[in-house]
Amino acid sequence: MSDPVARRAPWIAGVLVAAALVVVIVMTTPWHLIDLPKPDATLDFTQAEIDRQNQFRHELLPWSTTSWILSLLVPLYIGFSPVGRRLYDVHRLRRWYVAVPVLVAALGLLASLLTLPSDALAEQVTRDYGLSTESWGLWLRDRAVNWALASLALTAIAMGLIALAKKWRTWWWAPAAIAGAVLVLGVSFAYPVLVEPRFNEFTSMAAGPQRDEFMQLAREDGVPVKDVLVADASKRTTTLNAYVSGFGSTRRLVVYDTLLKDAPPAQVRLVIAHELGHAAEGDVLHGTLIGALGAAFAVVLLKLLLGARMADPRRTALLLAMIIAGSALAGPVQNLVSRRIEARADYHSLRLTNDPRDFVEMQHQLSVRNISGLEPSRWRYWMFASHPTSPERIAMARAWGAERGDPVPPLVNR
């Protein structure tokens, strides 16, 4: 093909993929479910509970924020400065397909070591407040597994992009964009089978009334669930949670053992109904589609920014820095969509159970138990909040109940 066509093609593809991504997000995200009153934490949380949450955040956030800043600044500095190419050269490995994995693993290890002190201090805070129960040995083991998995994933991405750019200097981005989208789809299928077992052990819930209730609830909701699994979360945390993992033949309902042990049955049922809402609404597929389009757009953007320079393995650190920068910039949009999706799952739970009173009590108990943020700062809310706050979720349940003649009184007497 002519040079003008080769120059215009990535711009056209980028516009088309970006437009498709925007259309999917705008058209499939549930932007409005119900008119909500202004959330008010003082309606349902005592001053002591609010003060405890504030004190927990006051002690935790300096360390978690330090880790986040370091995890961004270190790779960005290395990647966007000559340091990245010098680190590649220092290996003196003649084969690029050997040097690239070494560099990726080394940079990941460096970032992990630099954030180790602040991460450890943050972990100590969660221990002091009774949220973390894992041993320091298990904590270090989890960090090592995270480093290994991240290094493996980033190595595969970097080597794939470099190899394609070496083979097709001009058009490498086209097969790479397709491969990126397919990779996201594959990870959605494989994650429950290959990654989750690296951190928790899962056992099928024993036959009995509670399992039968969960399966019956799924049938009533029209959601095919392959199995109900219990995760041994208590070896790491005291928090309460459940989730639906995978889709198709890999879909299963996963329940924390802490939830089964410490939450009343009515509240457990509401949590399960929320998770079934994700499956009923196809949220995993929805997220996978957005992720696939996002991956394809990211590859086209790399083409526009790097061009044929992608074939130079000495720019591996720059590639990693651009991936990290892109992930950080995309975070607020991802969280915005996620909060809306989670709100829809809450709405689904209310419709399925018709139990706004227990829903409010459940959200209160979960928030107190998990010491969830009640009123995070605006920038933290946009950057990190993948779920609505507990007062926002309670406000939805209260509005839902009021519409149906079942008002929910405040949990705190004012």
- pLDDT tens, 81-127? 999 988 888 766 678 989 999 999 999 999 999 999 999 999 999 99
Q: What percent of the chain has pLDDT over 90?
A: 66
**273-289 as b/e, with b when 16 or more CB fall inside 10 Å?**
bbbbbbbbbebbebbbb
Which residues touch 199 (CB under 8 Å, ≥6 apart)?
Answer: 142, 145
Give CA–CA dist 205/228, Å, rounded. 6
- In this predicted structure, the answer to whether residue 69 has a pLDDT above a threshold of 60 is yes
Determine phi and psi for 46, rounding to 5 degrees: -70, 165
Task: Please give the residue that has the higher pLDDT: either 379 or 192.
Answer: 379
pLDDT in the model for residue 345: 94
User: pLDDT above 70 covers what percent of the chain?
Assistant: 97
Q: Which of 238-242, 323-327, 408-412 has the lowest mean pLDDT?
A: 238-242
Residue 299 has pLDDT above 90, yes or no: yes
Tokens representing residue 102 in the block: 């070494």
Q: How confident is the model at residue 374 (pLDDT cuts 50, 70, 90)?
A: very high
Identify the structural domains of the chain with CATH numbers, from first to last. 3-201+272-403 (no CATH), 202-271 (3.30.2010.10)
| Average pLDDT value for the chain | 91
Listed residue (153, 163, 120) closest to 139, CA to CA: 120
Predicted confidence band of residue 188 (pLDDT cuts 50, 70, 90): confident
pLDDT value at residue 110:
95
**pLDDT for residue 162:** 96
pLDDT in tens, 391-403: 999 999 999 999 9
| Residues counted in the chain | 414
**DSSP string for 236-268:** TB----EEEE--GGG-EEEEEHHHHHHS-HHHH
Q: What is the pLDDT of residue 66?
A: 97
Average pLDDT over residues 231-242: 86
